[in-house]
Amino acid sequence: MNEEKKSLNFIEQIIEEDLANGLPKEKLRFRFPPEPNGYLHIGHAASICLNFGLGLKYNAPVNLRFDDTNPAKEEQEYVDSIKHDVEWLGFKWDKELYSSDYFQQLFDWTIMLIKEGKAYVDNQSSEQMAIQKGTPTEPGTNSPNRDRSIEENLELFMKMKNGDFEEGSHVLRAKIDMKHTNMHMRDPIMYRILKKHHHRTGNDWCIYPMYDWTHGESDYIEQISHSICTLEFKSHRDLYDWYVDQVYDASLLELRPKQREFARRNLSYTVMSKRKLLQLVEEGVVNGWDDPRMPTISGLRRRGYSPESIRNFSDVAGIAKRDNVTDVALLEFCIKDHLNKTAPRVMAVLDPVKVVITNYPEGKEEFLDASYNDYEEGFGSRNVPFSREIYIEKEDFREEANKKFFRLKLGKEVRLKNAYIIKAESCVKNENGEVTEIHCIYDEDSLSGSGSEASKRKVKGTLHWVSVPHAEKAEVRVYDRLFTNEAPDAQKDKDFKEFINPESLNTIEAFLEPSLKNAKILDRFQFQRLGYFCVDKDSTSEKLVFNRTVSLRDSWAKMEK
């Protein structure tokens, strides 16, 4: 029992304490509240996995509630992408809800607060209000409009609603305490004027509630038991509670929601600000929100990340109370770990040099049985064509090399994966001294799996290869980290874009074994000895396009070392 308690994260401990103190388990309800002003990223995945994971753990419903209170930045495109991301991660919501569903109820409650003398209209400039708000160490001063009569506030607020005032000219503020030690409690804004078309309510409203006013009241309407936010909202908790107190009626035996906070997920070599990600998109630094270099869920999906790997990453990285930075290498480990168990292994050559097997009969071809995974059952196999001419990687050949080079060199043997043992005898070079062709001989009796004595011969190197006449040409996009700095947006006096990695994308023409011709978009493979790759959405039957998800070797660790 003690071991089980130790394994709980602190959010689960809070829930367990509430249950022990009498909260009925059937009253548990959670929510994931995205703002539809951009695509979700890997940081949001932590919140998705936390909230929906709690729903699964406690068999409790989870609402998907869109915080759509700012029509200036919100679009239906973002709503659709968020729903797709949550579903792709493997989660199902109970109700699809929107803060805009509650605009009328929020307005009615606001009228009640004005009538109770708890809200007033202020027509000062934002600069004047900011000066009056004071500082964390100095109390604020009251607005000259704070003591307007209830009748005047009602009249002005209705004029705001009816569109009689310009944007920025009037706001509605809660009347709390301008000397409060928590700055958020110093008469916060409840409504502002925005004459913008809303993606759901159209032009019905030209005043929109602020997030703080909307947040707790929406939780109360939906009877959310635990409203879990990221850490920057901790200082907003006093205001959350104050707003809920204004509408909560204990006599109705309704649940009173509580806000609790956890640290947002920050990732090294990454920016997580939606504003900065939007900047990358709008300035053409990347090719859209789903560019495989982006930390968005759609970008990771396109790059070849699996929902299982992202859920596992969220689980392993854990839930923290304090801000921290998670090493991106952990995310890369999680996708390697999952694809190592699930991705078929195939052969592709990204930087080819031709090998001619001089004693292999011209015009002959044979089809060799090759397993998709030599280490696990159930993957099946395919036929791989073999011929007199094949491609291997340039780096797999040297004319001369020391004893630690176990690949192809003149006078030495290597095994071709699933095929024969070959021996390099000579090479052809161009005018620049670059090797363009390697001439080899093969041991006819050494075919892998044939059971012959020659097939059992031990040679130290095994190379992947592709038959030249059967090779499928493909465009391969070799992606790397988008930034060269571990904390690109935390450097003083430097713009985060100064750390854009110029080598974050290299496009090459590669040669693949023909079994990949029918690969479908988002199919994932291990290109043996090279890395994990995924079929991109740009791929067609005429032109295959693959993205590198992650390499097998961690070149960054070597560089840093």
Tell me the β-bridge partners of 207: 193
264 catalytic? Reply is yes
* Cα 171 from Cα 189, distance rounded (Å): 7
Given strand 207-209, what is the order of strands in its sheet? 119-122, 171-174, 189-193, 207-209
- Contact partners, residue 476, CB within 8 Å, separation at least 6: 348, 350, 507, 508, 509, 510, 533, 545, 546, 547, 548
Choosing from 31, 65, 258, 264, the catalytic residue is 264
- Contact partners, residue 558, CB within 8 Å, separation at least 6: none
Q: Are 65 and 97 in contact (CB under 8 A)?
A: yes
Strand (E) or helix (H) holding 47: helix 42-58
* Cα 397 from Cα 233, distance rounded (Å): 58
Choosing from 35, 75, 472, 475, the catalytic residue is 35
Tell me the β-bridge partners of 63: 31
CA 427-429-433 angle, to 5 degrees, is: 130
Q: Are 391 and 349 in contact (CB under 8 A)?
A: yes
Choosing from 31, 274, 415, 477, the catalytic residue is 274
Q: Helix, strand or coil for residue 230?
A: strand
Question: Which DSSP string do the residues of 501-556 spell out, in sequence order?
Answer: -TTSEEEEEEEE-GGGGGPPTT-EEEETTTEEEEE-TT--SSSEEEEEEEESS-HH
Residue 284 Ramachandran class (φ > 0 left, ψ -120 to 50 alpha, else beta): left
- Contact partners, residue 285, CB within 8 Å, separation at least 6: 279, 497, 500
CA 464-469-475 angle, to 5 degrees, is: 65
Q: What is the 3-state secondary structure (H, E, C) of 473-503?
A: EEEEEEECCCECCCCCCCCCCCCHHHHECCC
336 catalytic? Reply is no
Query: Would you report the helix, strand and coil content of the chain in percent, each value rounded to 5?
Result: 35, 25, 40
Q: Are 415 and 421 in contact (CB under 8 A)?
A: yes
The set of catalytic residues is: 35, 264, 274
